[in-house]
Structure 1
Amino acid sequence: MKKLFVTLLATCVLTSNVYAQKSNEIFSKPKLSGYVIGQYQYSGKDNAKSNTFSLRMVRLSLDGRLFNDFAYKIQGQINGNTSTLSESPRIVDAFVEWQKYKFVRIKVGQFKRPFTFENPMNPIDQGFMGYSQNVSNLAGFTDRVGEHSSNGRDIGVQLQGDLLKTANGRALFHYQIGVFNGQGINTKDVDNQKDIIGGIWIMPVQGMRIGAFGWTGSYARKGDTGIVSLPKRRYAISGEYVINDWTFRSEYIHSTGLSFKTSYNEKSDLSNTEINYAKGDKADGFYALAIAPVIKNKFHIKARYDMYRPSADWNTSKTYYEVGADYEFVKNLKLSAEYILVNDRSIEKHNYSMIDTQLSFKF
């Protein structure tokens, strides 16, 4: 996969340069960009203590425009091993979007599911050591249903746009709705049933968004006895306010639907259709965060309350109480550090500490 992605990037760059010399109206010169996130993390979990350096993420991206009205993007994650789907190098984005009008845009390919405010965010801009637990488990990162790690993405088509502009051109209303395979990235549909995911939000004042999202669909596997399809019924309520380098964001997500006992990490898992009835058919989670500037656009302090209930009851809840800071040395080079108190009611010793430090740069 890594060789394929590098070859694809080189081919695209060479081809686009040739076309750019012939006609700037057909292909804009593609932009190659990316980012790297290095991480050190300590965990004091009883009987599972650890401290390690790692490459959390390495991404390369190629994007540009076609015929002025179309934007395209190809993005790959190139770090990780080659033995499991959750950590293997892989293509994460590959799409084209028609962008002629702001009130209606059409995107086709593989891209972020239109669910929650946090899911579409860049991992660096998201602000904390990782996406919140409810987004990670209920928006297709390490989905509770048993889907392979898909970075919040799927294959499909999406319609979106901004409406009701003010006198100065600021939109007051946004809508988005998409139809997807329901199987995650780089995977064909199994049960021929599609996921429908959508959301709307209003923007009453500059920097504020208040939104609601819905998701109905299924995740399926084909075993010895045939296809087993598990329904996904989810909704999210979201709010965000970003102004003068201050950020406040909060989201609640609720999910109904059973899960498979084994997550899809290897091809053999696809034939394992055993259902995890003990986990139940409900889950939910909530987070609230604040990021405050000490030096505007340079130095921030931050805090997050992050709770997830994998069976929608308090006996299995896991809560992160996080405080931290980040500092940008120069443009696109950032150091962040957090202390996390974890309360995990599913284990004997509920409380333990974590420390997370990340150095990231974009190019």
Structure 2
Amino acid sequence: MKRILLSCILFLSIYVLKAQDTHLKNVVNTLKERITLEGYAQVGYTYDDAGEKAVNTFDIKRAILMARGKITDKWSCYFMYSFANTGKILEAYTEYKFMPQLTVRLGQFKTMYTIENPISPCYVELINCYSQAVNYLAGINGSDPLYGSNSGRDMGLLIYGDLFKKKLSYNLAVMNGQGINQKDKNHQKDIVGGMMFHPLDWLSVGGSFVKGKGCAVAASSINQEIAVGDNYTRNRWSAGATVKTKPLSLRTEYLAGKDGHIKSDGYYATASVHVLPKFDIIASYDYLNKDKAQDYKQSNYVAGVQWWFYPKCRLQAQYTYCDPHKGESSNLLQAQVQVRF
């Protein structure tokens, strides 16, 4: 009797363990199917002789982890975290795809202003990543103290999609206008919109705009009438085009903004010439005038190369000649390695 009882217990234990193992495998397989993890790091060297003291340093420019969760075939969520410098959440949102013509996104994400801002640093040709005008007007790197350093991101509600057999892409959003990881500091919301027309497989043309009121987070020497905590008119628009062919990729755009009574504008043209299957020559002209009345402008000229030594991984080297209208010119030499999984 004892032997029969022990045998039953043994068989029952084996059955339970097999059931648990099967359940665990199903859970693991489900997670593999529904959760995608990605990340990249950009590390390198910088020499910059601007100002009284030159910068000569190795640095970590970016270290990013991204996670995407597939809740259903139409419903997903996304999370992005930056480990470089001070760690912070860059993006956290959920979106639902009703149809190819309409997707709704809610949370924190890239502001869909300009062609360049929504592009990941993994694919932007410049080591400094974005042009002066995009950095300034989209609030990316803090070059506009009123707006602050927000990585070109904000919190809000976005709708976007493709129309007419993907010949036209559109986006329209209501955003806080305050930047990342903080609540709105006024009662006004920014309206952000854009359209891109794709008449040919290799050509896209379009524009974008931001209309709203900002709340100044710091004082600016360019716009001294606006104090910290003041609400001020902050409007932007842009128009540009992209060309993508086997031998050449080109992105060009004109941008303009108005902060209070101060008008600014900028322009850039960035080209990548594919001379070999994995080797590109990079050239860029980049112009920004922070105050058109005072002629507070600077032009940057960039030349460099990049080698894609492994899928999504590259080695870059670039020289930038910085020519301000007021003040002395300077030289910027950079090298960077990008690894991504």
Q: Report SS of the residue matched to 1:137.
A: helix
Is structure 2 residue 128 aligned with structure 1 residue 115?
no
Structure 2 unaligned blocks of 5 or more: 1-22, 219-226
CA contact (8 A) 1:27 1:65 kept: no
Consecutive aligned runs of 4 or more in structure 1 exceeding 4 Å deviation: 17-20
Quickly say closer, same or farther: Cα 1:206–1:314, change in 2 above 3 A: farther
Seen in structure 2, the aligned counterparts of structure 1 residues 138 and 18 have a Cα distance that, compared at 3 Å, is: farther
Task: Give the SS at the match of 2:183.
Answer: coil
Task: Quickly say closer, same or farther: Cα 1:340–1:136, change in 2 above 3 A.
Answer: same
* 1:230-241 mapped onto 2 (5 Å cutoff): 230-241=232-243
Match of residue 6 from structure 1: none
The two structures have a TM-score, normalised by structure 2, of 0.85
1:207 correspondence with 2:212: no
Aligned Cα root-mean-square deviation (Å) = 2.4
Aligned pair in 2 of structure 1 residues 27, 196: CA closer, same or farther (>3 Å)? Answer: farther
Partner of 1:84: none
Q: Which deviates more from structure 2 when the two are superposed, residues 28-37 or residues 312-321?
A: 312-321
**Secondary structure of 2:326's aligned partner:** coil
Deviations 1:238-266 (A, max 9, x none): 110112262111011100113xxxxxxxx
Structure 1 residue 319 corresponds to structure 2 residue 314: no
| TM-score w.r.t. length of structure 1 | 0.80
1:286 pairs with 2:284 = no
Q: Quote the residue 2:99 is aligned against.
A: 101
Larger Rg: 2
User: Is the Cα–Cα contact under 8 Å of residues 110 and 154 in structure 1 kept in the other structure?
Assistant: yes
Distance in 2 (alpha carbons) for counterparts of 1:248 and 1:54 = 28
Q: Letter of the 2:240 partner, please give it.
A: S
Q: 1:147 to 1:65 in 2, by over 3 A?
A: same
Shift of 1:336: 0.4
1:271 is matched with: none
Look up the match of 1:69.
74
Summarize the Cα distance change of 1:39–1:146 in structure 2 as closer, same or farther, 3 Å threshold: farther
Residue 232 of structure 1 aligns with an amino acid whose one-letter code is R
Q: 1:7: which partner in 2?
A: none
Give the equivalent residue in structure 2 for 1:56: 61
Q: Distance in 2 between matches of 1:285 and 1:20?
A: 54
Which residue of structure 2 lines up, in the alignment, with residue 339 of structure 1? 319
- Once the two structures are TM-superposed, the CA of residue 330 in structure 1 deviates from its matched residue by 1.8
The CA deviation at 1:227 is: 5.7
Cα distance in 2, alignment partners of residues 38 and 285 from structure 1: 28
8 A contact 1:233–1:255 mirrored in 2: yes
Task: Specify whether residues 287 and 28 from structure 1 end up closer, same or farther in structure 2 by C-alpha distance, changes over 3 A only.
Answer: same
Given the superposition, is the C-alpha separation of residues 177 and 20 from structure 1 closer, same or farther in structure 2, using an over 3 Å criterion? farther
Structure 1 equivalent of residue 141 of structure 2: 142
Deviations 1:76-105 (A, max 9, x none): 10110xxxxxxx210001011112411111
Residue aligning to 1:254: 256
CA separation of 1:213/1:44 partners in 2, compared to 1, >3 Å: closer, same or farther?
Answer: same
**1:355 and 2:336 aligned:** no
Give the partner amino acid of 2:335: T
* 3-state SS of 1:135 partner: helix
